[in-house]
Amino acid sequence: MDDIKILTVIPVLDESQHLDRCLLSLRNQTFDSNRHRILVLDGGSRDNTVEIAKKHAIESNNEGGPSIEVLNNPGKYVSAARNMGLERAEDSTHMFEIIGHTWVPEDHLELRVSDLLDAEESLGRHIGSMGTKIKPSEERKGMPQSIEYALHSPLGGSGQFANFEGRENASSPAFCLHRIEAIRSIGGWDDRWIAGQDHDLNHRLRENDWPVMRSDVSFVCMSKRSTLSGLWGMGRRYGYWRMRQLRVYPKRARLREFLPWIGAVSISISCVLFFLSSGNSSLTGNFSMLHVFSEVFFFAPMILLSLYLGVLFVTSMAKTSLFPNFGIFLSILTLHISFSFGLLTGLLPMKPPINERVRGANNSNNEDRN
């Protein structure tokens, strides 16, 4: 463990509400502060995010904590910030990717480094990225709690919000501890992607024979969306950038991402065929084969829709209740529709959707990324 030196990179933009808790949790780590540096990269905050970061930099220095450096991120977005961190890695061996509205337990880095070294010893080789678990918040109530349950459900955020146990290979792990050698070998983050940049990076790591894994040895707490409108914006934005990536890398497509569209198209075709077969049956007076097809096309969309709503109904049952939670039901439905709509807009020559969390994130540079 003594050979491991960590650079924590935190891209921020108007994070004054959460950054204090984020930096405090990182300053209080049991991991040796002499082997831990923190870079806060600001993308042009209009609140007091920078002031909060500088205050922590001074306090951490006075208390013998990890070095905290606050820099301007001209590229504004996450991928640009992480590439800036990569350029300033110096003698660090690993980069911890995190964001300003997250926080971690005080033994987080120590546990993850120990777990990483154990995994590498078992594999007999270095690991490119080791992700962690995002812990659902137990404090939220009402709609925020419903959204929390939805994101962590099997039908919600199956990637970074996945509920898993143990240590395993992963396609899209969250908040990775990256080996800097591995990241440099593939050229760092692709700054074409405003969202999904980490998924893209981990995919390229696997293509270049670097193991990508995740472990539940620790967890990250994360402030998530609290309204359906915010959830809609997130789903649409992720869907848009997912389609932009698939236009460049079509082989990365997964069937489950398109199931809502497959269902919607199937139902639409069935409805059209029902009306056509019903009309022909009435005109010709042939009530045999056409009548059978008419009934098939009538019941097919009803069955498909009932199955989908039934699965949502069962999934919306919270752990603490045997009854469905309408808020969870609406949240999952909102995620599916917004992501699917985002996939569609990603095919069209449209401007990228704005960041629903921070309105100021949609600057002029974003308009060129179509």
pTM: 0.82
280 pLDDT band, cuts 50/70/90, is low
> What would the pLDDT profile of 71-116 be if each residue is shown by its tens digit?
999 988 999 999 999 999 999 999 999 999 999 999 999 999 999 9
Query: What is the predicted pLDDT for the residue at 189?
Result: 96
Please check the confidence at residue 150 and state whether its pLDDT lies above 90.
Answer: no
- Asked if 261 and 209 sit in the same domain, the reply is no
Categorize the per-residue pLDDT at 283 as very low, low, confident or very high, splitting at 50, 70 and 90: very low
234 occurs within a structural domain? no
Tell me the pLDDT tens digit for each residue of 34-75: 999 999 999 999 999 999 999 999 999 999 999 999 999 998
Q: CA-CA distance, 345 to 351, in Å (whole number)?
A: 9
One domain, residues 78 and 202: yes
3-state secondary structure of 212: strand
User: Do 196 and 58 fall into the same domain?
Assistant: yes
Asked whether residue 85 falls in the same domain as residue 199, the answer is: yes
Q: Give the position of tokens 């309204």.
A: 227
Question: pLDDT-based confidence at 309, cuts 50/70/90?
Answer: confident
Any domain includes 176: yes
In-domain check, residue 114: yes
Angle, to 10 degrees, between the axis of helix 326-347 and the axis of helix 228-248? Answer: 40
| Same domain for 141 and 102 | yes
The verdict on 258 and 321 lying in the same domain is yes
> H/E element holding 39?
strand 36-42
Express each pLDDT in 162-181 by its tens digit.
Answer: 888 999 999 889 999 999 99
> Within this chain, do residues 135 and 25 fall inside the same structural domain, yes or no?
yes
The angle at the Cα of 350, spanning 349 to 355, to the nearest 5 degrees, equals 145
Domain range enclosing 171: 6-224
Task: Kindly report the average pLDDT of the chain as a whole number.
Answer: 85
- 197 and 51 co-located in one domain: yes
- pLDDT of 352-366, one tens digit each? 887 655 544 433 343
H/E element, 278 = helix 259-284
Q: DSSP string covering 121-142, please?
A: HHHTS--SEEEEEEEPPSS--H
- Whether 240 is in a domain gets the answer no
**Neighbour tally for 69: CB within 10 Å:** 13
Q: How many folded domains does the chain comprise?
A: 2
Report if residue 229 sits inside a domain: no
Q: Is the pLDDT of residue 288 over 70?
A: no
Residue 235 covered by a domain? no
Q: Are 140 and 223 in contact (CB under 8 A)?
A: no
As a whole number of angstroms, the distance between CA 298 and CA 180 comes to 57
* Nearest residue to 245 via CA among 198, 203, 200: 200
Answer yes or no: is 166 within a domain.
Answer: yes
Q: What is the predicted pLDDT for the residue at 363?
A: 37
User: Which CATH number do you get for residue 200?
Assistant: 3.90.550.10
Between CA 44 and CA 359 the distance in angstroms is: 12
Same domain, 264 and 172: no
Terminal-to-terminal C-alpha distance of the chain: 44
The answer to whether residues 206 and 274 belong to one domain is no
Q: Please check whether residues 270 and 209 belong to one and the same domain.
A: no
pLDDT at 273 over 80: no
Q: Are residues 18 and 144 in the same domain?
A: yes
Q: Is residue 265 part of a domain?
A: yes
Please check whether residue 250 is in contact with residue 350, taking contact to mean a CB–CB distance below 8 angstroms. no
